[in-house]
Amino acid sequence: MKIRFIVKYISTAIIVMYCTAIIGQITVTNSTFPEAGDILFTILDTESNISIGDAGEDVIWDYRSLTGPFVRETRFFEASEGMSSEDFPEADLVSLSANEEEIYYKSFSNKIIEIGRAGEFVPGFDIPVVYEENPTFRRAPISFGDVDDDESIASIDIGADIIPAELLEGVPFEFDSVRISLINNSESEVEAWGTVRLPDGDYDVIRDKISNTADTKLFAKLPIIGWFDVTSLIGDIDELGDAIGVVETITYNYYSEEDKEIIVSIITDDQDMITSVEFKGDAILSDTKVVTPDYSMITAYPNPSFGSVSVQMVNYPLGEYRIKVYNVVGKELWTESYQLRSNRVFKADLMHLRKGTYLYSIFDKNGKKLVTKRIAIISI
């Protein structure tokens, strides 16, 4: 009897622990998919000092130190309301963000895919990009232990007459156009579930780890031969440098079963350094609109960037500002002046910089330095 009781007790304990684990997990469904009419807000952390934290079950990630007075607002509309909707007839949804880039989507019951993008998807070229293989924007249902892989392919053809001559002066033959080929491969694993603690409260989440490899190639169109891969020639051209090639990143997305925003999104580079953090913060959104100008009120995004950078200066007076870019030992590499207008954002084209980490400083019209921060440049 005693042995039978012990066996029964152990079996019951195992069942209880199993049920507790199951109850703690969540499943993210398509109810979290963005729809036309939605406005999503995430906060950009400007001075990230968090660590990724562990994978596994019933984990607590303490990200309460995240800060950020800058809000990324993304609006979703019916695709027909987009400025470039005619270029994306298959789309049924479009999003518009602060940098005026439109992303077109097609929605299904189990996923949303990207159809294409309009705006400066490739820095310096306002050309619609239609995917040949469509990347997945959101998928459902997802739960702990799920794995998935994804591939996207896009090509952009650019006429030689609009290509700055200095960019390809090292190519030893005549060509009439250039093709930029972008291939992205990603593998994702829902590697953890638990609770993420943010400045405005706690969220029950699952964490999706996405390992992404982006390979960008450059082709020149030659007479008779046709498209010819000139990627290997570009590495010796300073003006283009590492704007092509392979870039590896890891993104950690934290999803809840109720919110349409990603609760936290953390991007790391191939050195496992955190380069970007966005997070949901409903309770502190109002604080982002009442700020005073100091160093923390200036940020450059996206960071990392392909080269086209928006510098946001919240609550700074309108007028002229200068940006200077330095290498990590402080040598000045580039400078330019910009007018800050009513939207408090100006765009800087850093495409000429090689892949790597840089420092940037912002100066007012009197030459007073307002801020110095880091920015990472990656390949297209």
Query: Residues 132, 37: one domain?
Result: yes
Of 200 and 139, the one with more pLDDT: 139
Are residues 262 and 339 located together in one domain of the fold?
no
In this structure, the answer to whether residues 360 and 324 fall within a common structural domain is: yes
The verdict on 348 and 280 lying in the same domain is no
Q: Which residue, among 155, 154, 186, 180, has the nearest Cα to 167 in the 3D structure? A: 180
Cα-based distances in Å from 255 to 33, 38, 185, 206: 11, 17, 22, 6
* Domain-embedded: residue 258: yes
Quote the CA–CA distance of 302 and 306 in Å, as a whole number.
8
Cis status, amide bond into 34, omega within 30 of 0: no
Pair 261, 353 in one domain = no
Average pLDDT, the chain: 82
Which H or E element spans position 231?
helix 231-234
pLDDT digits (tens, 9 = 90+) for 90-143: 999 999 876 567 999 999 999 999 999 987 665 556 688 999 999 999 999 999
What letter does residue 122 receive in the DSSP assignment?
B
8 Å CB contact between 79 and 94:
yes
Q: What is the pLDDT of residues 324-348, one digit of tens each?
A: 999 876 788 999 999 887 567 888 9
pLDDT digits (tens, 9 = 90+) for 275-323: 778 899 775 555 544 333 333 468 888 888 888 888 888 767 778 999 9
CATH number of the domain that residue 327 is part of? 2.60.40.3080
280 and 321 share a domain?
Answer: no
For residue range 354-365, list pLDDT tens digits in order: 888 888 999 988
SS3 323: strand
Which of 221, 256, 284 is at the close of a domain? 284
Q: Are residues 266 and 347 in the same domain?
A: no
**Same domain assignment for residues 258 and 302:** no
Q: Are residues 332 and 261 in the same domain?
A: no
Domain membership flag for residue 299: yes
- pLDDT tens digits, 269-283: 888 888 778 899 775
The answer to whether position 106 is within a domain reads: yes
Residue 150 lies in a domain: no
Q: How many domains does the chain have?
A: 2
- The answer to whether residues 334 and 325 touch, using CB atoms and an 8 Å cutoff, is yes
- Sort 366 into a burial class: Cβ within 10 Å, 0-12 / 13-18 / 19+: exposed
371 pairs with which residues across the strands?
A: 362
Reported pTM: 0.71
Residues 319 and 264 in one domain: no
Range of 37's domain? 27-143+188-208+248-284
Mean pLDDT over 153-171 rounds to 71
Q: Establish if 222 belongs to a structural domain.
A: no
45 and 79 co-located in one domain: yes
* 341 lies in the same domain as 316: yes
Q: Under the phi-then-psi rule, with left for phi > 0, alpha for psi from -120 to 50, and beta for the rest, what region is 241? A: left
Q: How far apart are CA 115 and CA 62, in angstroms?
A: 36
